[in-house]
Structure 1
Amino acid sequence: MSTRVVVTGLGATTPLGGDVPTTWQAALAGTSGARKLDNDWSEKYGLPVDFAATLAVAPEEVLPRPEMKKMDPSAQYAMIASREAWADAGAPEVDKDRLGVVVSSGIGGIWTTLDAWDTLREKGARRVLPMTVPMLMPNSPSAYVELEFGARAGAHALVSACASGAEAIGYAVDMIRSGRADIVIAGGTEATIHPMPMAAFAASRTLSTRTDDPARASRPYDVDRDGFVIGEGSGIVVLESEAHAAARGARVYAEISGVGLSSDGYHITSPEPTGRGQIAAMRMALKEAGIAAADVKHVNAHATSTVVGDLIEARGVREVLGDAADGVVLSATKSMTGHLLGGAGALETVFSVLAVRDRQAPPTINVENPDPEMVLDLVRDTPRALPDGDVAVINNSFGFGGHNVALVVTNA
C-alpha cells in the first residue's frame, strides 16, 4: 500500500494578500489583484500593457533589508511563504536528514540577471555583485529555503514553466512515498513583473491588453477573453507522511492522493488541440489516488484566460470524468490572482486544499459573457458550496513546452 501524504502547513504571499488567510478570504470575496503599475514602463519602453497582479504586501514589509539584499525577489517570496507554512505546520522538531525541500520557479532570478547585465554594461565587470550567481540561479529559492530550515534529505527545483509549482509538489509527494523524506516543504514562486518578460509575453500575444480596466482583464471562459494578467508571488505547502504527522499530533488539512504527469510532444507554446496530454495527466492522477470520476466534485483549472487554452482544458476534464462531469464545479482563480507562472500551480494547490477544508469552491470573476462552448459548470462571482462526505479536487497546471501536471486533493 502506497504511503499516504498529507498537508499540514500552508503559506503564501500573493496579489490578494500577504498570507494564506487574507489571500483565501479575498479569493472567496471575488477580489481582483490586478492593478495599474506605478511606473513609467509603458511610456519608456512602449509596453502595450501597463498593469499586472502585483503583491498585496511588499517583501520589505516582512523581511529585513540585509536578508533581502542576498535574494532575488523570487527567493524573497518563497522565504515569506515557507516561513508561514512551517509555522502553520507547528514549527515541528524534525530529523533534518528526513526533511526535504522542493521549491520551483518557471523563470528564476530574472530581476537579478537583468540588473547585473545593466550594471556590467553601464559600470563594468568590477561592479557586478559577487552574490549575483547565487541570486539568479533557478534553484536559488529552493536553496535558501533549504538553508533556512536545515533540510538535508534533498533540495530540488524542477522547472516546467507554468506547471513548475504543481510539479514541485508532485515530486515532494514522491520523495515521501519513496522513503527519502518524512516531511517536505514544497511549492513554487515567481517574480517576473519586469519590463523585459512583460514585453516578451506581450510579443507572443498571451497577455491581456485591457488597459482601461485591469481588475476585469482576466476573464477565463468569457467570449471576450484576450489573454492572461501576469502575476507574482509564492505558494508553499508542508507535506508529511501520514504516519509522521500522526506521531507528532499534527493538524491535517487534506491529502495529496494522486499525481499525474505527462507531456504533449506537440509545440513549444501552443497546447495540443485535443488535450490528450492533459487528459493523460488527469487520468493518471485519478488512478494513483484510487478514486472514481464520481468522487471528483471540484476542479481548480489552469484556465489562464487565453482564447484557445481554456476550452481545451474544459473539454479534457469532461472527457476524463464523463457523465460525472455534470456534478463537478470548476473554478478559474487566475481571474483574481493573475497568472503566477511557476508559482501558479502551488498557490492553486493551496486553494484546492482550502476548498476541501471549507467545502467552498472559490469563484471565477469577470465572466460577463460566458463562452457558449464551455462544457462545465463554472463557479461565477460567488463561492459554491461543496457536498458533505468524501470530496476530491483536481488541480490542473500546464506549461509552455507541453508540460502537464494534475494533482488530486482529497479530505484526509
Structure 2
Amino acid sequence: MKKVVVTGLGTINSIGKTKEEFKENLKKMTIGIDYITQFDTTDHKVKIAAEVKDFDPTQYMDKKTAKRYDRFLQFAIAATKDALEDSKLDNGEWKENAAVIVASGIGGFKTLYSEFQKMQEKGPKSVSPFLIPMMISDMASGVVSIEFGLKGPNFNTVSACASSLHAIAMGSMLIRHGYVDVAIVGGAEATIDPMPIAAFANMRALSTRNDDPKGASRPFDKERDGFVMGEGAGVLVLESEEHAKKRNANIYGYIEGFGMTGDAYHISAPDEEGKGAAKAIKIALKDANISPEKIELANCHATSTPAGDVAETRALRSALGEHIKKIYIQGSKTLFGHGLGAAAAIEFVGMILQMKEGFIHGMPNLDNIDEELIDLNIPKKTVEYKAEYAIKNSFGFGGHNVSVIYRSI
C-alpha cells in the first residue's frame, strides 16, 4: 500500500482566517468565543458562540458566486484555496483524478431557515431555485470540485461531529490503495443560527455560561456544562508519498493509521465506558503498526460536555493503558468552539501546526480538573514540546467513532 502524506493546510475559524494566524492564536491560547451577532438572541437560552468575524467571501470568489453559496460553502472554498496554495500544486494533470471529500454534518441550514421563513411570509413562489444546491451537505465537495477543477472521486461523509475525520480517513484509504494520488479532505460548517442554537440548547448540549463567554468552553473541568457552537472549515491536501516527493513538495507528516467503529448504544449519548471509542483507537494503532508507547499527544474530541469528556478519557485509558499518564492531552474546542462536522478537520490542522512548530497549546479554562482525570497530563498553559506521534479522536451523534494516527517530520 502507498504511504499517505500531508502537503497542504487551510482553515478559517474564530481564531484564524489563515493558518499562520491560527497557529499564533493557538500558541497564545486566544479564545474566539463571544456573544452571538448573527441573529437576535433575546429569547434564547444560549447567547454565545465562536463566530468567524468580518468574513468577506469575495476575497475567495466573485460576488455572484458568493451570493449563490451558503456560508458553509463559502468557508469550504476559502479553506481549500489556502490549502492548495500551501501545497504548491500546479494546474497539471493531477486534477483529472484528484479526490474531493469535504464533509459537512448539517449543510446549509442558514439557507434552509431563511427560505422557510420567506415561504411562510410570501408563499411558495418566493423560495429560491438555488435552495437545494445551497443546502445539501454534499455540496461542499461539489463546489470545491467545480471551483478548482478537481475531477476524481467526489462525495461527502456525513457522521455528525465525526464527519470530517471520516473524510480524512476515507481520503487516506483512496490514496493507500492507489485509486488517487491526491485527495482534498476536510469539513465545513455554519450553523450559528436560531434553530440549531435553540435545538442544541433544548437538549441541554450547549453551555449556558452567557455571563462568561471566554470561560464557557472548558473541557475536562469540573464545571463544564456543555459545548459552545463554532463554525468554519478545515481542509488538508493529502498525497501519496511518491507523488509528493516526485514534485519536491513540502511534507508536513504522514497519516499512519485510522480506526472507525460504531457504539451501537444511543442516538446522542456516548457509551459511558467509551468501548466503541477505545476500539477505534486500538484499530488505529494496529493499522499504524505502532505500540501505544509511541503516542505523545492526544488531541481529543473533548466537547466540554459532562458525559463526553469522561467517556473519551476512559477510552484512552483502555487503549493506551498506563502510558496515558505520560502523554499530553488537549481539547482545542476550548479556544474556538465546536464546529460540528468541520470540528475534527479544523482541529487536525491545528494539531499538525503545533507539532511542526514544537508546542502544545494549553487549556486556559481548566481551573478545577475533573477528579477522574486528575492523574492525566492536561496542560493549563502552552508548553514547548515537539511531538512526533499523535492521535486525533472524533465522535458523533449516532455512535460514530473515528481515530487517526499522525506522524510529524
1:23 corresponding residue in structure 2: 22
The match for 1:191 is: 190
- Give the letter aligned to residue 21 of structure 1: E
What is the DSSP-based 3-state SS (H/G/I as helix, E as strand, rest coil) of the residue aligned with 1:142? helix
Kept in 2, the 8 Å contact 1:217–1:229? The answer is yes
Q: Which residue of 1 aligns with 2:360?
A: 361
Counterpart of 2:223 in structure 1 is: 224
* Matched position secondary structure for 1:366: coil
Displacement, 1:34? 0.2
Partners of 1:234 and 1:291 in 2: CA distance: 30
DSSP 3-state at the match of 2:364: coil
Structure 1: state its 5+ residue gaps.
Answer: none
Offset at residue 377 of structure 1 (A): 0.8
1:33–1:56: 8 Å Cα contact kept in structure 2?
A: no
1:138-149 aligned at under 5 Å gives the runs: 138-149=137-148
The answer for the alignment partner of 2:378 in structure 1 is: 378
The one-letter code matched in structure 2 to 1:372 is E
Once the two structures are superposed, residues 235-267 of structure 1 have per-residue CA deviations (whole angstroms, 9 ceiling, x without a partner) of: 000000000000111000011111110000000
**Rounded Cα–Cα distance in structure 2 between residues aligned with 1:213 and 1:31:** 15
Structure-1 residue corresponding to 2:159: 160
Separation (CA, whole Å) in 2 of partners of 1:170 and 1:57: 32
Aligned to 1:175: 174
Aligned to 1:76: 74
Q: Report the TM-score, using the length of structure 1 for normalisation.
A: 0.96
> How far apart, in 2, do the equivalents of 1:129 and 1:38 lie?
25
Tell me which residue corresponds to 2:400: 403
* Matched residue SS, 1:42: coil
| Distance in 2, Cα, partners of 1:223 & 1:356 | 28
Is the 1:153–1:180 Cα contact (8 Å) retained in structure 2? no
Matched residue SS, 2:367: coil
State how far apart, in whole Å, the 2-side matches of 1:351 and 1:39 are: 26
Q: Is the 8 A contact 1:102 1:155 kept in 2?
A: yes
SS of the residue corresponding to residue 365 of structure 2 reads: coil
What is the distance in 1 between the residues matched to 2:128 and 2:261? 39
2:255 alignment partner, SS class? strand
Find the aligned partners of 1:401 and 1:315 in 2 and give their Cα distance: 19
Aligned position for 1:103: 102
Residues 384/330 of structure 1: CA separation in 2 closer, same or farther (3 Å cut) = farther
Query: Is the aligned partner of 1:265 residue 2:264?
Result: yes
| Distance in 2, Cα, partners of 1:165 & 1:55 | 19
Q: C-alpha distance in 2, partners of 1:227/1:384? A: 29
Answer whether contact 2:112 2:135 (CA < 8 A) is retained. yes
Q: Which residue of 2 aligns with 1:276?
A: 275
By how many angstroms is 1:5 displaced?
0.3
Partners of 2:38 and 2:193 within 8 A in 1: no
Give the corresponding residue for 2:59: 62
Aligned to 2:317: 318
Instruction: Give RMSD over aligned pairs.
Output: 1.3
Q: Deviations over 1:99-147 (max 9, x none)?
A: 1100000111101111111111112222211111111111111100011
How far did residue 40 of structure 1 move? 5.7
Identity %: 38
* Superposition deviation, residue 381 in structure 1: 2.6
Change (3 A) 1:121 1:9: same
In the alignment of these two chains, the number of paired residues is: 406
Q: What is residue 240 of structure 1 aligned with on the other side?
A: 239
Contact 1:13 1:57 in 2 (8 A): no
Normalized against structure 2, the TM-score is what?
Answer: 0.97
CA distance in 1, matches of 2:119, 2:38: 24
